[in-house]
């Protein structure tokens, strides 16, 4: 748990010298607790207090970075069990597993598919997080060849999976600069794997299928060898057991009751041969219940669309819905006679309405009202999307200077506002659009808007 202002205050000099820009040490401590300022703004904190505060205020689940550059994957740093308490921080990396027993062409094809997989949704690009290359053949040459093919066909960060430390050493010589995740340190090889992780400064997975106690114990041993960027793998189990272990691991980490569980957890969505539908369902459960890396054996678009959508929803701050700015948006190349529509600034609403206008092939002006990121009906029910708001947006957004026509289309869900809006905007013809955005193309083609 994060430290309170009073707990931090106890470790400050208490001289109220004001050099940090705050009138008292207590005021500074309060800002620190809210994470609105850095500790180094106080030049008088002792090294001892700095170390203590850094350790105490560290998130209960360590942040681990896999890969480098734009596509690096950050996981961990979670601080809560439920997303209504506070947002979840780092969405899990959805991962494609490929094996070095595949032929070069088939392997390249799968990797190209992984590289291209993804969607744009509410203005965000949703992509795969990682590719795992597995040394199923147990053959060093084949593993190195597969890694070469992976590096040629994707720039996604890699997980290198081999139980042979000698093979891993050679693989890391080719890849360590890109900080792959090493998979994995197990009871019979953890010292050698930890030495490699330390030497190459790469994150390391710790795997023990014998239960969370044994996994935590092994993680502490690896940590004791000087490797702290760890990812935990509890092994492949049934959906129920994995779900229970993910939940217990998160609880224990948040309570700081088991030091060895204070790391992000990776899971495999299914054993070899699992039906892809089952695999997708399991992955969905693991997205909701704390997995930081989820390994799939196939990544077809029909699997990824629901998983990415779920991931995006679960990892959106529930107190700050995704929203767009209040403004006039051009859809296509509208002119002074193009239709004018209005809706709210909830991102999903904006992108759905804008998409349907595009589908109509009729260029239009879309006015967006700031209603704190609510959808149309929610904002109407909260009296945020009312006639006054609509009239204010129309009068102040600058649309009147850009168009000749005075036809305004309201969302069908707020047809009840049309009379009041017409009174407030006497120069305008107020029209009521369809209740569902999907009917907008038909409406726009049929109506003279």
CB of 417 to ligand SF4, least distance (A): 52
The minimum distance between CB 438 and ligand SF4, in angstroms, equals 57
Strand ranges for 208-325 from DSSP E: 230-233, 266-268, 293-296
Interaction residues for ligand SF4, span 9-68 (CB under 6 A) = 12-13, 15-20, 22, 25, 28, 42, 44
CB of 32 to ligand SF4, least distance (A): 9
Choice between 5 and 332, CB closer to ligand SF4: 5
Segment 167 to 206, residues that bind ligand SF4, using CB under 6 A? none
Measured from the CB atom, the residue of 26 and 81 that comes closer to ligand SF4 is: 26
The tokens describing 140, both together, are 């060093």
| Beta bridge pairs of residue 161 | 134, 183
Q: Which residue has the tokens 């969607």?
A: 119
| CA–CA distance, 299 with 305 (Å, rounded to integer) | 10
Asked if residues 171 and 148 have their Cβ atoms less than 8 Å apart, the reply is: no
What SS3 state is found at 337?
A: coil
Looking at the DSSP assignment, which residues form a beta bridge with residue 94?
294
Yes or no: say if 295 and 266 are a contact pair by the CB < 8 Å rule.
yes
* In the block, residue with structure tokens 């088939």: 106
Q: Which two tokens stand for residue 305?
A: 């669309």
CB closer to ligand SF4 out of 42 and 218: 42
Q: How far apart are CA 163 and CA 141, in angstroms?
A: 15
CB of 1 to ligand SF4, least distance (A): 22
Q: Taking the CB of residue 420, how many other CB atoms lie within 10 A of it?
A: 15
**Window 128 to 167, contacts with ligand SF4 (CB under 6 A):** none
- What is the smallest separation between the CB atom of 35 and ligand SF4, expressed in angstroms? 16
Which H/E stretch holds residue 206?
A: strand 204-207
Under the criterion CB under 6 A, does residue 388 sit at the interface with ligand SF4? no
Beta carbons of 65 and 229 less than 8 angstroms apart: yes
- Contact track, ligand SF4, 248-267, x by CB under 6 A: --------------------
Which CB sits closer to ligand SF4, 27 or 81?
Answer: 27
How many residues form the binding site for ligand SF4 (CB under 6 A)?
Answer: 13
Query: What are the Cα distances from residue 265, in Å, to 166, 223, 235, 253, 328?
Result: 25, 15, 10, 11, 44
- 15 or 439, CB closer to ligand SF4? 15
Pick 31 or 392: Cβ nearer ligand SF4: 31
> Cβ closer to ligand SF4: 25 or 348?
25
Q: Supply the minimum distance, in Å, between the C-beta of residue 7 and ligand SF4.
A: 14
Binding site for ligand SF4 (CB under 6 A): 12-13, 15-20, 22, 25, 28, 42, 44
């Amino acid at each position: 748990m994060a430290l309170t202002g009073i707990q931090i205050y106890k470790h400050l000099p208490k001289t109220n010298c004001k050099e940090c820009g705050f009138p008292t040490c207590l005021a500074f401590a309060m800002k620190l607790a809210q994470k609105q300022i850095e500790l180094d703004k106080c030049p008088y904190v002792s090294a001892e207090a700095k170390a203590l505060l850094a350790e105490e205020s560290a998130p209960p689940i360590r942040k681990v970075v896999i890969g480098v550059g734009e596509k690096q994957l950050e996981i961990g740093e979670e601080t809560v069990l439920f997303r209504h308490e506070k947002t979840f921080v780092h969405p899990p990396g959805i991962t494609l597993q490929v094996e070095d027993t595949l032929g070069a062409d088939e392997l390249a094809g799968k990797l190209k598919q992984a590289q291209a997989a993804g969607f744009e949704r509410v203005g965000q690009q949703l992509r795969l997080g990682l590719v795992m290359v597995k040394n199923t053949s147990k053959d060093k040459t084949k593993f190195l060849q597969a890694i070469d093919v992976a590096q040629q066909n994707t720039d996604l960060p890699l997980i290198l999976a081999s139980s042979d430390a000698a093979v891993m050493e050679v693989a890391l010589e080719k890849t360590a600069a890109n900080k792959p995740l090493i998979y994995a340190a197990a009871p019979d090889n953890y010292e050698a794997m930890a030495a490699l992780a330390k030497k190459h400064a790469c994150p390391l997975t710790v795997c023990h299928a014998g239960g969370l106690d044994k996994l935590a114990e092994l993680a502490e041993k690896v940590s004791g060898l000087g490797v702290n960027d760890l990812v935990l793998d509890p092994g492949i189990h049934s959906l129920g057991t994995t779900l229970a272990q993910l939940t217990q691991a998160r609880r224990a980490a948040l309570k700081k009751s088991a030091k060895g569980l204070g790391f992000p957890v990776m899971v495999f969505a299914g054993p070899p041969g699992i039906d892809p539908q089952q695999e997708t369902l399991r992955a969905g459960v693991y997205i909701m219940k704390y997995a930081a890396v989820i390994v799939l054996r196939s990544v077809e678009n029909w699997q990824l669309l629901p998983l990415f959508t779920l991931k995006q929803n679960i990892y959106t701050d529930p107190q700050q819905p995704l929203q767009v700015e209040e403004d006039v948006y051009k859809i296509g190349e509208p002119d002074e006679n193009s239709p004018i529509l209005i809706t709210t600034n909830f991102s999903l609403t904006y992108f759905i309405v804008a998409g349907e206008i595009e589908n109509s092939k009729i260029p239009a002006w879309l006015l967006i009202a700031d209603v704190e990121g609510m959808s149309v009906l929610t904002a109407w029910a909260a009296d945020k999307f009312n006639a006054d708001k609509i009239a204010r947006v129309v009068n102040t957004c600058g649309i009147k200077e850009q168009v000749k026509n005075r036809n305004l289309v309201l969302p069908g869900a707020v047809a009840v506002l049309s009379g009041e809006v017409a009174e407030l905007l006497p120069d305008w013809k107020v029209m009521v659009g369809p209740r569902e955005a999907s009917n907008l193309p038909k409406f726009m083609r049929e109506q003279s808007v």
